[in-house]
Amino acid sequence: MRALVQRVREARVDIAGATVGRCGPGLMILVCAMQGDTEAEAEALAAKIHKLRIFRDDAGKMNLALKDTGGSALVVSQFTLAADTRSGNRPGFSTAAPPDQGERLYLHFATALQGLGVAVETGRFGADMAVHLVNDGPVTIWLDTSL
């Protein structure tokens, strides 16, 4: 699985003008299931993000994790993280999991993160969403369970 994690002061996702999920302060997490991914990868990714030390401590150093700050998370499905841009000008997405598997693993990831004690809200899989966020830092981290 792949994730793009952004430390945020706040974030929200709207569909047709209505807010369906929000968080802040905490993490905005864009998630993509890849072909062959399993629930084990979703759980490992959730555990890694839960412990990722990217929040400032009292000395201003990135030394605290989401689990230490009590922050929340907004998890949004993002199949375009599977983009293959090695040839041509149009990205290919053939390495992304099929939609039914992608949705199942996306929801499993969100549930796993919530099971670790994080307040989690989500977007809606496959929907046309407007994502709003205020980066904190900015801090943006790319994670991939296959690397």
Tens digits of residue pLDDT in 7-32: 999 999 999 999 999 999 999 999 99
Give the pLDDT score at 139: 97
Does the global pTM surpass 0.75? Answer: yes
* Count of structural domains, the chain: 1
Domain extent at residue 45:
2-144
Give the pLDDT score at 146: 84
Residue 48 has pLDDT above 90, yes or no: yes
Q: Which CATH number covers residue 46?
A: 3.50.80.10
Distance, in Å, from the CA atom of 124 to the CA atom of 60, rounded to the nearest integer, reads 35
Residue 79 has pLDDT above 70, yes or no: yes
Per residue in 90-143, pLDDT (tens digit) is 999 999 999 999 999 999 999 999 999 999 999 999 999 999 999 999 999 999
pLDDT band at residue 41, thresholds of 50, 70 and 90?
very high
Which amino acid, residue 147?
Answer: L
Quickly list DSSP for the chain: -EEEEEEEEEEEEEETTEEEEEE-SEEEEEEE-BTT--HHHHHHHHHHHHH-EEEE-TTSSEEEEHHHHT-EEEEEE-GGGG-B-SSSSS-B-TTBPPHHHHHHHHHHHHHHHHHTT-EEEE--TT---EEEEEEEEEEEEEEETT-
Give the pLDDT score at 147: 65
- Contact predicate 2/31, CB 8 Å: yes
Give the pLDDT score at 62: 96
Name the residues annotated as catalytic.
Answer: 78-80
